[in-house]
Structure 1
Amino acid sequence: MAARNNSTTSSVGAQQRDRKRSVAEEPVTSVLSGGDVPVPRDGETWDADEEVLAALGYKPEFKREFTLWTTFCVSFAVLGLLPSFASTLYYGMGYAGTAGMTWGWLVAMIGIQSVAASMAELCSSMPTSGGLYYAAAVLAGPRWGPLASWLTGWSNWFGQVTGAPSVNYGTAAMILAAASIQNPDYVPNDYQTFLLTIFIMIIHACMASFPTRWIAKVNSAGSTFNMIALVIVIIIIPAACDRTAHGLSKFNPSSAVWGDIYEGTSYPAGVSVLMSFISVIWTMSGYDSPFHLAEECSNANIASPRAIFMTSATGGIFGWFLQLVVAYTVVDIDTVLGSDLGQPFAAYLVDVLPKPVVLAVLSLTIIAGFAMGQGCMIAASRVTFAYARDDCLPFSFLLKKVNTRTRTPVNAVWFNSLVGCLVLLLIFGGSIAIGAIFSIGALAAFVAFTIPIFIRVFFVGNNFRPGPWNLGRFSIPIGVVASAFVALMVPILCLPSVTGSDLDASGMNWTAVVYGGPMILVMIWWVVSARKWFKGPKVNVQHMMLGNEGAVIEGKEAGSGSEDGEAVVVDGKGKAT
């Protein structure tokens, strides 16, 4: 009887192997072993996208209603060039002046585009909602994978969860600045800014709880408006510029725009330019969104990496045009930075444009900022869901639930909103304190972006199995540039703008504390407890195990191919390493 049962089981396994391809035949780098064969439950069928996801160890849970265009729209909305530029003008212009905005932007984009290209290559090979966190676990291997995944995941989450609050804070500040322009007797206070930002957060949380199809349409419209508004602003500012009212020429001379470095910090000019990169990095940190939406995108291992690369490239080009427009038309940097309006971009517009045009440009920027905050909320909720699915976060049992009606991670949306509202209490700590959320978003995001890229370049090498979208022989050199750029910028982003006796609590750069403090707690948690139970991404799809073709395994741990549930890297020939 036992022999007969074994024979029947082997026959079932053989039939399943004939029906489904093994992991080694899929264009993925997976936590599963190369010979494992994911199998659907009874009554289920998988399309090509779902087979790729199953080869990565996950069962399909979302509707794939995003396309290349709608995924790009969410990503471009998160990038939000116009509102991002407006929100971070204080750093871009205030640290190095127009030189940092012109050639400084170009230098920064070399590093940023390298990071985006390397990330897109990882996305093509591992198109999951976990994204960078999953990639770090697989690429670092059995010994270091859990720790690399833990650090990447938490750093990325810190960047994601502060995205919507920082964007919405900037939007609220612009709304109140517009009110001040309309009524000069009105001066907004911190309490009003806080309440307005919270109100915007609640609206976005409601919108992010919609079904995927609705979210795609809303973000497509928002992103389209964002692009149109950006082009309008780039055209309207030089066309309506009224610098002659100040007794100046129509535009600043090129020698001043490209050559004069504003002394906005206590450091040498070169360091000041590097410090101004915070504006570029924070503005250009939204292109990872297609990675986190990969499980909701059709043809994900091609469409998602394309969306990543397109977002960064398009944002870099149009962002530079916007920088040039402002650099050539700004009247006085000191006036812009010290205005009572509390919003440098609004102060700049008041200096160079007639009042009706100022209000029109601010209105376009505010609407674009609203769309950007919505995109940030969506991307962050997918990251939270992915990490909760692997029990990485507190209350994971609630956060990993997908709403049965909307088929979206509603619990994750509202959890992120609550955390974001608590972060916004920094408003009452002053401009330096709330400004830390911008540095955190830039620093946390790029640390998470680069950990798996660094591992892939310096430790995995040719054992990485690229997906259909890849960089070919340029993969390693581009990855080296990306890693070097972030290694340079991490300490730069933590520098205060003043030094010596001028440095006090009000001038301190709190990024190292606000980001470093939680990361230290995360590391303590790892040492004390998490290293004992956290093993990286958890497989939740049934699969036939390598070397035991007759047995269908109900996946629970990462890397079913090894006895202790550790991750396995599959090389280009489908061999486990």
Structure 2
Amino acid sequence: MTTHRSRTVAEEPVTSVLPDGDVPYDPSHSLNADEEALAALGYKSEFKREFSLFTSFCVSFAVLGLLPSFASTLYYGMGYAGTAGMTWGWIVAMVGIQCVAMGMAELCSSMPTSGGLYYASAVLAPPGWGPFAAWLTGWSNWLAQVTAAPSVDYGVAAMLLAAASINDPSYVPTDYQTFLLTVFIMILHAILTSMPTKWLAQFNSAGSSFNFIALVVVIIMIPAGTDRSSRGLPRFAPSSQVWGTIYEGTSFPAGISVLMSFIGVIWTMSGYDSPFHLAEECSNANLASPRAIVLTSATGGIFGWFLQLVVAYTVVDVEAALGSDLGQPFAAYLMQCMSQKMTLAILALTIIAGFSMGQGCMLAASRVAFAYARDDCFPLSRYWKRVNRYTQTPVNAVWFNCAIGILCLLLIFAGELAVGALFSIGAIAAFVAFTIPIFIRVFFVGDRFRPGPWNLGRYSTPIGTVACAFVLLMIPILCFPSVTGPDLTVEDMNWTCVVYGGPMVIITIWWFVSAHKWFKGPKVNIEHMMLGREGTVVEGQQGPSGDVKDGDSSSTEVQAPEKMLKL
């Protein structure tokens, strides 16, 4: 008689959604460690695991895109609070953001699936609340992801057209030209994101390497190449001015203005969740993916602060940079303190880095859409969850997100503040999705949480508490308009509460009217070929005693498994 080793799901370092007694098992395939962990979560491996710690970090760092993100959100970071918000404000914001990233990494180690935060919310929620928690988390996360590529590509298009204006001062870009150029970039990114996983890993590794090199080069080029002295100014602004002067860019008190400027930090630092969504394509996922999350957030925080400092010490006129005819504050700032050739060189580096960032955003968004479609979260999910048989990637999900993103870009025709909602939506939607499972884990699960191999130990609850408090503070702040009282007009309104809150209200109503009847949260899609629930036995399989159980009496023999995964 052959002896077979039994491995239970309880031995896997992951938190499973499988109900007691369900045992996923494939007798024709010997599972490796990553496949065992994923099977314990209730899913079968559908992708090639060709991402590693480094390549996962490369994707997330590309999505982070410090240089193009900073350039695209300078209007908020510098415009709301000036250089003080850029210097010590960045440090304050990073404390909260790093706590969110570490709380997410702990969840990723425990549940390394592309469903990510959505899956974690379903598993950790109190009995009966899992599907609703997953529903809200999933839709909020998808709204953040699907608006990421359009907002990045809009920033890239704006910088390209600003460079054209620098070369030809008589040229003033129109909204229509900005829209068409952004759509063209979106389509290029969709084509690239439809490539096989191995090509994607290589492309993103190259793009992330360029992103990092360009960031370091720009941090060196700006202080080395500034020509403030030739304009009758000191080479660098005095520290008392940089750290102590708060630009009155809003009608709120200085402290609130600094908090409002955090939108630039939050949006810039919102790409660290990408390794979570790539976990099913990463080897050694329950260690490599959380490490990539923390590494991305920490590296981005440090180098992002350096970039903030060099700009804060070299900017000449904040108000002039914000109101320039170039239509791009970063380009206008460079023209204030650099030669034209140096300005165009830095813009070129930023544009290339932004192109890589946009592709990384679309990659992460496609994996999120695939994971949610796999659980029938979207209308017509059967189309979006298909994996292309040639590339072995979710190509349909890529183009679904691309189409939605292009529709979002119609906000360009509603004015700068309206299209700016894409940035604040990304910040607030991501924060809500990031924090729901962390909040549930801290305040409802507590010590019953089963950590993975990467965890925070006794610091888990304090760090999670800080993360939740920071997000609860920032959500209303991100919805404030820059002006108040009689000065507030439709054009000056912050449309985040409408553009984000509107869809979320509809989604919540949809839940209570219909979705609660058919949406049950993450679906187990792996075959349950061993024991059933409560002592019952799945047809055609071997019982606990080794006897063959079969609904068909003509069956007399069953192949014994080489490995069992049992709850």
TM-score by length of 2: 0.94
Alignment-mate amino acid for residue 310 of structure 2 = V
Distance in 2 of aligned mates of 1:432 and 1:300? 40
Q: 1:96 aligns with which of 78, 81, 86?
A: 81
Question: CA offsets, 1:368-402, max 9 Å, x none?
Answer: 00000000000000000000000001110000100
Distance in 2 of aligned mates of 1:204 and 1:142? 41
Q: 2:110 aligns with which of 125, 139, 144?
A: 125
Q: 2:25 aligns with which of 28, 39, 47?
A: 39
**What SS class does the counterpart of residue 538 from structure 2 fall into?**
strand
- Contact residue 381 and residue 413 of structure 1 kept, 8 A: yes
Alignment-mate amino acid for residue 481 of structure 1 = V
Q: 2:13 aligns with which of 22, 27, 44?
A: 27
Q: 2:333 aligns with which of 345, 348, 358?
A: 348
- Give how far 1:58 is off: 0.1
Q: Which residue of 1 aligns with 2:232?
A: 247
Alignment-mate amino acid for residue 337 of structure 2 = V
Distance in 1 of aligned mates of 2:244 and 2:20? 56
Q: 2:158 aligns with which of 168, 173, 177?
A: 173
Q: Which residue of 1 aligns with 2:538?
A: 551
Q: Which residue of 2 aligns with 1:160?
A: 145
**What SS class does the counterpart of residue 551 from structure 1 fall into?**
coil
- Contact residue 48 and residue 197 of structure 2 kept, 8 A: yes
- Contact residue 101 and residue 297 of structure 2 kept, 8 A: yes
Q: 1:67 aligns with which of 48, 52, 55?
A: 52
Distance in 2 of aligned mates of 1:299 and 1:132? 19
Distance in 2 of aligned mates of 1:541 and 1:141? 24
Q: How does 1:311-330 map to 2 (within 5 A)?
A: 311-330=296-315
Q: Which residue of 2 aligns with 1:6?
A: none
- Give how far 1:575 is off: 13
Provide closer, same or farther for how the CA distance between residues 504 and 326 of structure 1 changes in structure 2, counting only shifts above 3 A.
Answer: same
Q: Give the fraction of aligned pairs with identical amino acids, expressed as a percent.
A: 73
- Contact residue 162 and residue 420 of structure 1 kept, 8 A: yes
- Contact residue 22 and residue 566 of structure 2 kept, 8 A: no
Distance in 1 of aligned mates of 2:436 and 2:256? 24
Q: Is 1:297 paired with 2:275?
A: no
Q: How does 1:279-290 map to 2 (within 5 A)?
A: 279-290=264-275
- Give how far 1:91 is off: 0.2
Alignment-mate amino acid for residue 29 of structure 2 = E
Provide closer, same or farther for how the CA distance between residues 552 and 288 of structure 1 changes in structure 2, counting only shifts above 3 A.
Answer: farther
Q: How does 1:70-469 map to 2 (within 5 A)?
A: 70-469=55-454
**What SS class does the counterpart of residue 21 from structure 1 fall into?**
strand
- Contact residue 156 and residue 444 of structure 1 kept, 8 A: yes
**What SS class does the counterpart of residue 127 from structure 2 fall into?**
helix
Q: Which residue of 2 aligns with 1:50?
A: 35
Unaligned runs of 5+ in 2: 542-564
Q: Is 1:528 paired with 2:513?
A: yes
Alignment-mate amino acid for residue 336 of structure 2 = D
- Contact residue 392 and residue 534 of structure 1 kept, 8 A: yes
**What SS class does the counterpart of residue 252 from structure 2 fall into?**
coil
Q: Which moved more, 1:68-77 or 1:18-27?
A: 18-27
- Root-mean-square deviation (CA, aligned residues, Å) is 1.6
Q: Which residue of 2 aligns with 1:560?
A: none
Question: CA offsets, 1:399-423, max 9 Å, x none?
Answer: 0100001000000000000000000
**What SS class does the counterpart of residue 354 from structure 2 fall into?**
helix
- Give how far 1:45 is off: 2.2
- Contact residue 50 and residue 59 of structure 1 kept, 8 A: yes
Distance in 2 of aligned mates of 1:285 and 1:27? 27
TM-score by length of 1: 0.92
Question: CA offsets, 1:240-290, max 9 Å, x none?
Answer: 111123211000000010100100000000000000000000000000000
Distance in 2 of aligned mates of 1:171 and 1:21? 51
- Give how far 1:547 is off: 3.6
Distance in 1 of aligned mates of 2:6 and 2:338? 64
- Give how far 1:96 is off: 0.2
> How many residues are paired up?
542
Alignment-mate amino acid for residue 29 of structure 1 = T
- Contact residue 95 and residue 273 of structure 1 kept, 8 A: yes
- Contact residue 7 and residue 566 of structure 2 kept, 8 A: no
- Give how far 1:184 is off: 0.9
Distance in 1 of aligned mates of 2:495 and 2:488? 12
- Give how far 1:446 is off: 0.6
Alignment-mate amino acid for residue 227 of structure 1 = F
**What SS class does the counterpart of residue 258 from structure 1 fall into?**
helix
- Give how far 1:141 is off: 3.5
- Contact residue 153 and residue 387 of structure 1 kept, 8 A: yes
Question: CA offsets, 1:291-338, max 9 Å, x none?
Answer: 000000000000000000000000000000000000000000011000
Distance in 1 of aligned mates of 2:396 and 2:126? 32
- Give how far 1:20 is off: 4.7
Q: Which residue of 2 aligns with 1:505?
A: 490
**What SS class does the counterpart of residue 500 from structure 2 fall into?**
helix
Distance in 1 of aligned mates of 2:40 and 2:127? 18
Distance in 1 of aligned mates of 2:110 and 2:33? 14
Distance in 1 of aligned mates of 2:32 and 2:338? 55
Unaligned runs of 5+ in 1: 1-10, 555-573
Q: Which residue of 2 aligns with 1:570?
A: none
Distance in 2 of aligned mates of 1:20 and 1:463? 25
- Contact residue 282 and residue 439 of structure 1 kept, 8 A: yes
Q: Which residue of 2 aligns with 1:557?
A: none
Distance in 1 of aligned mates of 2:424 and 2:30? 45
- Contact residue 155 and residue 447 of structure 1 kept, 8 A: yes
- Contact residue 20 and residue 38 of structure 1 kept, 8 A: no
Q: Which residue of 2 aligns with 1:566?
A: none
Q: Which residue of 2 aligns with 1:540?
A: 525
- Give how far 1:167 is off: 0.1
Question: CA offsets, 1:503-539, max 9 Å, x none?
Answer: 0100000000000000000011001000111110000
Alignment-mate amino acid for residue 449 of structure 1 = F
Alignment-mate amino acid for residue 545 of structure 1 = G
Provide closer, same or farther for how the CA distance between residues 25 and 545 of structure 1 changes in structure 2, counting only shifts above 3 A.
Answer: farther
